[in-house]
A and B are shown apart, each in its own frame.
Chain A
């Protein structure tokens, strides 16, 4: 399946918050949807889920208009909320039944995900009696009910400790390996980098980058070479790079240059004993995010 988000525009009170947002998500490949607070991630998800109606543009699934009511969709909104005074089992069963499961299937499904996330012992406890992390796991479990084909998760990692995050990552990988179409937003670059095949970077309602993470990293690092050297030799090597006409920037003992083989050969050969590592630069997602969305991306 291919979910196409095409030229989505949305305004609130006369202010446009999505300016023709376009990207596509393919099943079997996890898509990370990145952006700063207020960039338009949740609005895009809400338009996709028909919580709001977009002013223009369309959502297409395999080329046809996408109606979430006609597909098995698992959705976890940014605004967390389930029934605080209802037991975990009862409310997961309720949501499974709302998604079309029979009572028996709903009970089995609810128990499966409660067990998966280590919440079986709390099944007859009210949600409000659980820790925030465990409440978050119930929210995620809710999105996985009824074996959805399409999974949309808004900030699923927030509130999870590293152990629970690992459990969740495993579940996402399983879903993706089973060919599900999965898209999630996050601020935690490390998780996205680790788990996503594709990314879309949005800022102020405009998509800045979208595509394969690997290709983006390659593209972003293209024509750049990095040299990590001994700290005491950094200044000398940087000066030599300037003289060779390939110097770009320096961050402590890391020097970035143009990827020009002729110039680099001489530079690397002369400083060989001071170089700790070197190679074509592959930027981290954090680097890409900061470069594209701005240096003041405090959330990232």
Chain B
């Protein structure tokens, strides 16, 4: 019998990419990526550094209050010290607190301020949310500045000298002999999220694809036409090829858009990206992403062959889903630099290793020889798992009836001569 790995792979691959759902999803994600990459240009001002504050010199002068941007909201001056220093327009100045409360309640003012004395203000909110504090911060810092300047004047200290002393901060010059592991957080986070989502989504897909062949009775025809190893290998590699093609499309699209728009990016964001995205780590992430895909796709596909109906797939693959969730949960402490005995041991267990080892490498908790050894161990384990999966697939291909537990299945698979 001819080994038809190429034929199966090609058929499964093109069946997937010709699906309308795949094309629509890919199109939507590509558009989303283009938008995300263009976002820093479209929302340029958001990424700019906030303007330097500090108007001590001017703040002491009652005529210089125009240097502050107008604050949103209305105000009542119970203490008149700041009456002409704060930038509230006349229509937003109320004579008493009741009027101000009324204006906030009916929505005329987003927020109300009652200036009680130079160091005390009462803020009135219609409703309070996470953003509400930001509505107050501008007024508070302005009042603080004015108060400090006025106190300095009373003490006869020139404001400029005070400013100079304040700016003369202690300088810390950091020398990093190894890696700046804090800069790896973002790429590590993206890696974990990507592996988690892709493995669960496409794993389910691989399992359903196998189960559907049993459900539709195509299996008997297939296994009498070609070898079971060609069928499962072709199916798994087709799924991996589809994932890698999608990833290449997304990354390629992002890279092209980024290169086109790079000149328009805010300098601060470029500096941030340069510090946080390590191209040297991308190879390791890609390698472990592929290893994770192969390992988990074999597991999912073989479990898909143990059920007779498509609707039983989710319960059959639940143990593998839990494995993945557990690995995902372990990865978060690892990302924040934790490298205790538990994480070190888990990083050698292949199911978790594919998630943890690149993170440990990025955090300098694992050396290059360790990552190379881990790659060999993972590759060997994946090859062994592929062999087991082929046996399970061959056994499961024509086994119909009640669901069996995984241990029972393994016993039967290896009991057969």
Contact = CB atoms under 8 A, between A and B. Distances in A.
A80 B220 CA distance: 9
B225 A51 contact: no
A49 B224 contact: yes
Contact of B221 (A52, A90, A95): A95
A207 B15 CA distance: 45
Contact of A81 (B2, B220, B225, B417): B220
B49 interface: no
Contact of B223 (A51, A80, A99): A51
Given A49-B224, A50-B224, A51-B398, A97 B4 contact: yes
B224 A84 contact: no
B225 A82 contact: no
B47 interface: no
B113 to A, nearest CB: 65
A81 B220 CA distance: 8
Q: Please classify the interface of chain B as helix (H, G, I), strand (E, B), loop, or mixed, using the class held by over half of its residues.
A: loop
A63 interface: no
Contacts of B11: 90, 94, 97
B380 interface: no
A142 interface: yes
A233 interface: no
B181 to A, nearest CB: 48
Given A86-B15, A95-B225, A79 B4 contact: no
Given A69-B1, A70-B1, A86-B15, A98 B220 contact: no
Contacts of B23: none
Interface secondary structure of A, over-half rule: loop
A83 interface: yes
A46 B7 CA distance: 24
Contacts of B417: 53
B217 interface: yes
Contacts of A86: 15
B221 A51 contact: no
A231 interface: no
A75 interface: yes
A75 B15 contact: no
Contacts, number: 59
Contacts of A69: 1, 227
Given A83-B216, A84-B216, A75 B221 contact: yes
Interface in A136-184: 142
Q: How large is the interface on B (under 10, 10 to 19, 20 to 34, 35 or more residues)?
A: 20 to 34
B7 A77 contact: no
B34 to A, nearest CB: 31
B1 A81 contact: no
Contacts of A266: none
Nearest to A97: B7
B159 interface: no
B226 interface: yes
Interface string B209-246: 00001001111111111110000000000000000000
A100 interface: yes
B217 A98 contact: no
A238 to B, nearest CB: 52
Interface in A85-104: 86, 90, 94-95, 97-100
Nearest to B217: A81
A75 B226 CA distance: 12
Contacts of B221: 75, 77, 81-82, 95, 142
B117 to A, nearest CB: 76
B374 to A, nearest CB: 38
Contacts of A81: 213, 216-221
B217 A80 contact: yes
Contact of B220 (A51, A70, A84): A51
Given A81-B221, A98-B225, 15 more contacts: A51-B220, A52-B398, A53-B417, A69-B227, A75-B221, A79-B217, A81-B217, A82-B218, A90-B11, A94-B11, A95-B221, A95-B225, A97-B7, A98-B226, A142-B221
6 contacts: A50-B224, A75-B224, A82-B218, A83-B218, A94-B7, A95-B225
Which 8 pairs, one residue from A and one from B, show the smallest C-beta to C-beta distance? A81-B217, A69-B1, A79-B217, A81-B218, A77-B220, A98-B225, A97-B7, A49-B224
Interface of A: 46, 49-53, 68-70, 73, 75, 77, 79-84, 86, 90, 94-95, 97-100, 142
Interface of B: 1-2, 4, 7-8, 11, 15, 213, 216-227, 398, 417
